[in-house]
């Protein structure tokens, strides 16, 4: 059996007498994509948070990562690595811009752009979750996981009222996309601490709403609540413990939706469902799972259970089909989610990237991924 060890899913702070010096050097040379460390009043809010203990944000239920010898080698050189990529580039839905130019029939229309990026039109307002338009989810343009498919529509065609960020990992918080959205009118809703990155990239402080778990705000006529998730954060060498991760509830006048961000399965879903549900749509992470990190990403079956806990009507699986971030075949999450949803009697929608649909009317399930 391979050697393995279990470690908490957090980044460790340096403890030697050189930590201050190394931190100063790191801040001086690190690329802009690493973001910035929280300071001032933002840092004071973090230190006062009930979710920040012993120098770090903490999950309500402990989360493990199992570091096993040969794990990295398997990811890059494993015999099954070809299954983690589609045989040909994925064809996105061709008429996204045309369809979005028409008014929604029901007041709730959803467009999955790939991975965890979702554009939601809800009761006359436009919300963009975790926008990643970059070719790679990486701090660098020349290395890191690349896209399986192009973005379905230009970012400047969406004109969101609100941009919601679940956490600061590179496949959810993309610096070039944020910088492009500065030119929009959007307000940015982020978990506590993440606002430091956005200000570093040019977002005015007055357009950032920063929330701790279970805090709410009214933004652009919508009710937004940052709800718990079971994950971790960090983009740079030393800012991993001072940014929070979150799931999100967005409530309009007639509809409400849930976006899970990244999360392991935990009892908090039932609490969120009881306090904020039922939901017309849940957008739930079902990809990039592994036995090596069982508590920070859900399996498809756990995602379907989370949808049930949340009292969701329609389920949109997210966090799959765009980047190679785990050891499973690239299209396995869709098949497993569909099978589990059918067994549970859940209504699941698996649209092609860029295909708008109205969750209260339709649930596209044509098996394009096969």
For 165-182, the pLDDT digits (tens) are: 999 999 999 999 999 999
Tokens describing residue 290: 């592994």
Mean pLDDT for the stretch of residues 54-81:
75
> Is pLDDT at 266 greater than 90 in this prediction?
yes
Mean pLDDT for the stretch of residues 331-346:
97
Percent of the chain's residues with pLDDT above 70: 88
Q: Which helix (H) or strand (E) holds 222?
A: strand 222-227
> Is pLDDT at 239 greater than 60 in this prediction?
no
Q: Provide the b/e sequence for 240-257 (b: ≥16 CB within 10 Å).
A: bbbbbbbbbbbbbeebbb
Q: Looking at residue 247, what is its pLDDT?
A: 98
Which residue in 200, 185, 163 sits closest to 38, CA to CA?
200
Stronger pLDDT, 12 or 257, i.e. the higher one:
257
- Report d(CA 12, CA 21) in Å as an integer: 17
Predicted TM-score of the model (pTM): 0.91
pLDDT band, residue 238 (cuts 50/70/90): low
Mean pLDDT for the stretch of residues 177-196:
97
Stronger pLDDT, 363 or 298, i.e. the higher one:
298
pLDDT band, residue 14 (cuts 50/70/90): very low
Q: Are residues 258 and 312 in contact, defined by beta-carbon separation less than 8 angstroms?
A: yes
Tokens describing residue 40: 């001032």
- Phi, psi at residue 42, to the nearest 5°? -60, -45
> Is pLDDT at 23 greater than 90 in this prediction?
no
Q: Are residues 199 and 135 in contact, defined by beta-carbon separation less than 8 angstroms?
A: no
Which residue in 119, 120, 155, 118 sits closest to 134, CA to CA?
155
Distance of CA 95 to the CA centre of its chain: 25
Q: Looking at residue 77, what is its pLDDT?
A: 61
Q: What is the dihedral of CA 78, 84, 85, 86, to 10 degrees?
A: 130
Q: Looking at residue 53, what is its pLDDT?
A: 94
Residue with tokens 């996309």: 177
Stronger pLDDT, 140 or 239, i.e. the higher one:
140
Tokens describing residue 80: 């099954």
316, β-bridge pairs: 283
DSSP symbol at 177: H
Q: Are residues 117 and 166 in contact, defined by beta-carbon separation less than 8 angstroms?
A: no
Q: Looking at residue 76, what is its pLDDT?
A: 63
Which residue in 111, 119, 92 sits closest to 184, CA to CA?
119
What's the mean pLDDT when you consider all of the chain? 90
- Report d(CA 180, CA 42) in Å as an integer: 24
> Is pLDDT at 241 greater than 90 in this prediction?
no
- Report d(CA 112, CA 124) in Å as an integer: 18
DSSP symbol at 101: T
Percent of the chain's residues with pLDDT above 90: 79
Q: Looking at residue 91, what is its pLDDT?
A: 94
Lowest model confidence (mean pLDDT) among 54-63, 79-88, 195-204, 333-342: 79-88
Stronger pLDDT, 81 or 274, i.e. the higher one:
274
Three-state secondary-structure class, residue 122 = strand
Tens digit of each residue's pLDDT (9 = 90 or more) over 291-328: 989 999 999 999 999 999 999 999 999 999 999 999 99
pLDDT band, residue 70 (cuts 50/70/90): low
Q: Looking at residue 78, what is its pLDDT?
A: 65
pLDDT band, residue 80 (cuts 50/70/90): confident
Tens digit of each residue's pLDDT (9 = 90 or more) over 86-110: 998 899 999 999 999 999 999 999 9
């Amino acid at each position: 059996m391979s050697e393995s060890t279990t470690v908490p899913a957090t980044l460790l702070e340096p403890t030697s007498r050189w930590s201050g010096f190394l931190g100063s050097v790191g801040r001086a040379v690190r690329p802009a994509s690493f973001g910035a460390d929280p300071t001032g009043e933002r840092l004071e809010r973090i230190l006062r948070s009930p979710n920040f203990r012993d120098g770090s944000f903490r999950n309500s239920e402990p989360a493990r990562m199992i570091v096993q010898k040969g794990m990295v080698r398997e990811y890059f050189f494993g015999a099954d690595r070809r299954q983690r990529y589609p045989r040909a580039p994925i064809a996105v839905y061709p008429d996204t811009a045309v369809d979005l130019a028409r008014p929604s029939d029901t007041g709730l229309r959803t467009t999955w752009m790939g991975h965890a990026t979702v554009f939601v039109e809800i009761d006359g307002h436009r919300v963009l979750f975790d926008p990643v338009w970059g070719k790679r989810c990486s701090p660098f343009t020349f290395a890191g996981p690349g896209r399986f498919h192009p973005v379905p529509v230009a970012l400047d065609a969406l004109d969101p009222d609100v941009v919601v960020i679940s956490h600061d990992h590179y496949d959810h918080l993309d610096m070039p996309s944020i910088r492009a959205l500065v030119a929009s009118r959007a307000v940015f809703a982020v978990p506590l601490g993440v606002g430091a990155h956005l200000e570093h990239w040019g977002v005015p402080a007055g357009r950032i709403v920063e929330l701790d778990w279970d805090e709410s705000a009214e933004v652009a006529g919508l009710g937004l609540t940052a709800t718990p998730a079971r994950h971790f954060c960090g983009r740079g060498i030393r800012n991993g413990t001072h940014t929070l991760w979150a799931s999100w509830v967005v409530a309009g006048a007639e509809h409400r939706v849930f976006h899970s961000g990244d999360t392991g399965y935990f009892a908090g879903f039932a609490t969120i469902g009881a306090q904020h549900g039922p939901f017309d749509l849940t957008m739930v992470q079902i990809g990039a799972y592994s036995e090596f990190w069982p508590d920070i990403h859900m399996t498809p079956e756990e995602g379907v259970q989370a949808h049930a806990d949340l009292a969701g009507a329609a389920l949109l699986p997210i966090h799959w089909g765009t980047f190679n971030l785990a050891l499973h075949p690239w299209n396995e999450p869709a098949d497993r989610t569909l099978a589990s949803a059918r067994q549970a009697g859940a209504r699941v929608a698996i649209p092609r990237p860029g295909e708008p649909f109205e969750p209260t009317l339709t649930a596209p399930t044509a098996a394009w991924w096969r």
